[in-house]
Structure 1
Amino acid sequence: MSSPLPAREVPAGSGPARRLSRRRLVRHTMAGAGALLAVGPLSGCASPANASGASALSVWDLFQGGDGMLMDDMIDAVSKGAREAGGGAGRAAEAKGAGGSKGFEVDRTILDWGPSYYTKLAMSAAGGRASDVAAMHLSRLAGYAPGGLVDAFDLDLLAEFGVSRKDFTPAVWARTQHEGTVYAIPLDVHPFIVFYDKEAADTAGLLDSSGQLAAMGSPEALLDAGKALAEATGESGILFGHVTDTAQNWRLFATLYAQTGAAFLLPEGGPVEIDVDAAVRVVTFMQQLFDGRTNPGNLDYNGALAAFTSGRGGMAMLGEWELPTLKKSGIPLGAAPFPQVFDKPAVYTDSHSFVLPHQDDPDPARRREAHRYVAEILKQSLTWATAGHIPAYQPVLAEPRYAALDPQSSYARAAEVAVLDPPNWFAGAGSNFQNRMCQPLQSALLGNTSAQKAVRQMVREADALLRQPNPVA
Structure 2
Amino acid sequence: MTRSRQPGGGPSFSRRRMLAGTAAVFGGALLTPTLAGCSTSAASGITSLSYWHLLSGGDGITMATLVADVEKKLGNVSVDQTVLAWGAPYYTKLAMASAGGRAPDIAIMHASRVTGWAPGGLLDPWDLDLLAEFDVTEETFKPRIWEKGFTDGKLYSVALDSHPFIMFYNTDVADEAGVLRSDGTLIETTTPDEFIDMALEMQAVTGQHGLSWGYLNDGAQLWRLFYTLYKQHGADMVLETGKPAEYDKDAALESLEFMTKLVDGTVAATNSDINNGIAEFAGGRSGMLFSGVWELRTLQDADIAFDASTIPTLYGTPAVYADSHTFVLPHQSKPDETKRRAAYEFMSTLLKGSIDWAGAGHIPAYLPVVNDPAYDDLIPQAHYANAADLINYDPPAWFTGSGSDFQNYFLDSIQGVMLGERSPEAGLASFISRINTLLSKPNPVTA
Q: What's the TM-score once normalised by structure 1's chain length?
A: 0.85
Q: Which of 32, 54, 60 is residue 52 of structure 2 equivalent to? A: 60
Instruction: Find 1:343's aligned residue among 305, 316, 324.
Output: 316
User: Counterparts in 2 of 1:155-194, with a 5 A limit?
Assistant: 155-194=128-167
Question: Aligned residue for 1:76?
Answer: 68
Tell me, yes or no, if structure 1 residue 41 matches structure 2 residue 31: no
Identity of aligned residues (%): 45
Deviations 1:405-443 (A, max 9, x none): 111111111111100111111110011111111222211
Q: Indicate how the Cα distance of structure 1 residues 466 and 68 shifts in structure 2: closer, same or farther if over 3 A, else same.
A: same
SS in 2 for 1:217: coil
Deviation at 1:299, TM superposition (A): 0.5
Distance between the aligned counterparts of 1:235 and 1:113, measured in 2? 33
Q: Secondary structure at the match of 2:109?
A: strand
Aligned residues of 2:138 and 2:146 also touching (Cα < 8 A) = yes
> CA contact under 8 A between 1:217 and 1:340: conserved in structure 2?
yes
1:294 maps onto 2:286 in alignment? no
The whole-number CA distance in structure 2 between the counterparts of 1:218 and 1:398 is 32
How far does residue 103 in structure 1 lie from its aligned partner after superposition? 4.0
* Compared CA separation, residues 371 and 116, structure 1 to 2 (3 A): same
CA distance in 2, matches of 1:316, 1:275: 27
CA positional deviation for 1:337: 1.0
Secondary structure of the corresponding residue to residue 146 of structure 1:
helix
Alpha-carbon displacement from aligned partner over 1:433-462 (angstroms, at most 9, x marks no partner): 111112222111111111111111121121
Q: Where does structure 1 differ by over 6 angstroms across 4 or more consecutive aligned residues?
A: none
Helix, strand or coil at the partner of 2:241 = coil
From 415, 420, 434, the equivalent of 2:393 is 420
In 2, are the aligned partners of 1:203 and 1:232 still within 8 Å (CA)? yes
Structure-2 change in CA distance of 1:201 and 1:43 (3 Å): farther
The CA deviation at 1:381 is 0.7
Gaps of 5+ in 2: 1-24
Q: Is the 8 A contact 1:78 1:103 kept in 2?
A: no
Task: Find 1:407's aligned residue among 380, 394, 402.
Answer: 380
2:284 corresponds to which of 302, 311, 317 = 311
The one-letter amino acid of 2:368's match is: P
Q: In terms of mean alpha carbon deviation, does 351-360 or 159-168 score higher? A: 159-168
Post-superposition Cα deviations, 1:111-137, rounded to whole Å, max 9, x if no partner, equal: 111201111111111111111100001
- What TM-score, normalized by structure 2, do the two folds share? 0.90
- Residue number among 218, 222, 247 corresponding to 1:249 in the alignment: 222
Amino acid at match of 2:227: A
CA deviation string 1:269-296 (max 9, x = no partner): 2311111111111111111122223322
Output the CA distance in 1 between the equivalents of 2:36 and 2:88. Answer: 23
Question: In the alignment, what sits opposite 2:346?
Answer: 373
| Residue 213 of structure 1: how far off its partner (Å) | 2.7
CA deviation after TM superposition for structure 1 residue 51, in Å: 4.1
| Aligned-partner residue type, residue 59 of structure 1 | Y
Q: Find the residue that maps to 2:185 and give its secondary structure.
A: coil
Judge conservation of contact 1:240–1:297 (CA < 8 Å) in 2: no
Q: How many residues are aligned here?
A: 416
Distance 2:179 2:145 in 1: 30
* Gaps in structure 1 of 5+ consecutive residues: 1-38, 82-100
Q: Within 1, Cα distance between the matches of 2:111 and 2:330? A: 14
